[in-house]
Amino acid sequence: MSILIIGGDNISHISSMLKDLGAKSINHWDARKKSSAPRKKVPSSTDCIVMLTSFLNHNTMLKYKNEAKKKNIPFVCAKRSISCVYSEYIKIMGISNCQDCYTNCEMKK
């Protein structure tokens, strides 16, 4: 699974949590520059978009939300905290229990 994270600066904790949940590759756009972020196209290999809403303007969020809907890509909006991203991600991706997770973590053993 390939995930695109838009927003935030230091996302190392969020990236490692998403890798634990089955992400194979993670792309990150910090979207700090208002002029550059809305011009980028979502890569065709993207399976999910995670939008960290703390540092983004509404136009950027709206653009990528609409693009995700057109391409039928799951879209997760969350604040920058790892617990918020985790709870929204499992809700959107339909992970209801540990058996639905994609990895072999310690909880499955």
Render 30-76 in DSSP notation, one character per residue: ---STTTGGGPPPPTT--EEEEEGGG--HHHHHHHHHHHHHHT--EE
The CATH class for the domain spanning 2-108 reads alpha beta
Domain ranges of the chain: 2-108
Q: Which residues contact 100 (CB under 8 A, 6 or more apart)?
A: 94
**What's the pLDDT tens digit per position in 28-44?**
988 776 665 667 888 88
**What's the pLDDT tens digit per position in 17-31?**
999 888 999 999 887
**What's the pLDDT tens digit per position in 91-109?**
888 876 655 554 444 444 3
Q: Is the pLDDT of residue 12 over 80?
A: yes
Assessment of whether the complete model's pTM goes beyond 0.85:
no
